Structures are given as C-alpha cells and as structure tokens.
Amino acid sequence: MGAVYITTAIVFVSDVRGRPIYGFTVRDREKAHGLEKAVDESYSPDDKPLLSPGRRVAVVDDVVTGGGSILKAVDAVSEEGCEIVAVIAIVDRNQGGRERLADRGLPYVSLFEADPKGNLGICSEFASRGAVAARAD
C-alpha cells in the first residue's frame, strides 16, 4: 500500500515541475466491483491506455523483502505489454528480493538497504551510480 503514496507524490511533483509522469497502482488481487481489474491507471495524454504494449514503465515499491509483491506488480504490468525499464524500491531489506529480481533480469535499484539488525543505510549500488552526488548540488 505504501507504493500508492509514493506514486501520488511522484505524479504530483512531476506535474508541478512541468514534466508530468503518469502513475498506476497494482493491487494484490482484482477488485470485486467496478472494472474488476488489479491495475488502476491514471490519465494518459496520448489517448491510449497508460499501460499499453510498448509503453516504457518503472515499477516502484516502498519496501522489498522477498520480492513477491513487486514481482506481482511486474507481472501485471508485463501482461499489459509494457517494457519494464526500472524496478525501484525505497528500502531493500536484503532478504532475497534483489536476487529474485536479478534472476528475472530486471533492472533493480533501491535507495536504502537494511543490515541484518534492521539499520538503514544508503544503498551502495545507488550511491555508486552517482545519483546521490549528482543531486547533492
């Protein structure tokens, strides 16, 4: 559920800055009412469904533990024919999720990672890509 809030913030800030990014949400299971879909999409400016074949998308989640939830989202978006260009987590608990994503060949990065005691630090891979240094100015 945390990904909904992250997506909302990204969509809002990107629009305020004049470079809109459109969002979607993947539920654990299909709704039993309305459109009865597992994926809710926002508006798309090109008159096509937001999640359509060939569309390049990033899948974002708040926490990755074993990778089950984020892989469900990846599968749901892939079924729509989208190209997954990034899989991003705010926190990686280092409990197998990274490896499961890598086994599928998915481009994955987390912002923070937890040690065995649960202490958080900036993910070394994220920091080494220069992303932190590039935004520090």
Give residue 81's domain range.
2-135
Residue 6 — pLDDT band, cuts 50, 70, 90? confident
Can you give the pTM of this predicted structure? 0.79
Residue 30 pLDDT greater than 70, yes or no: no
Q: Which two tokens stand for residue 20?
A: 């809109």
Is 94 exposed, middle or buried (CB count within 10 Å of its CB: 0-12, 13-18, 19+)?
A: middle
Chain centroid offset of residue 49 CA = 18
The count of domains in the chain is 1
pLDDT digits (tens, 9 = 90+) for 58-67: 899 999 999 9
**pLDDT (0 to 100) of residue 15:** 84
Q: What is the pLDDT of residue 66?
A: 95
The secondary structure of the chain in percent helix, strand, coil, rounded to multiples of 5, reads 30, 25, 40
| pLDDT, position 29 | 58
Query: Tokens representing 136?
Result: 């520090």
**Which DSSP letter does residue 21 get?**
-
Q: What is the pLDDT of residues 98-135, one digit of tens each?
A: 999 999 999 999 999 999 898 999 887 766 665 444 44
CATH code, domain carrying 39: 3.40.50.2020
Question: Residue range 10-37: average pLDDT?
Answer: 74
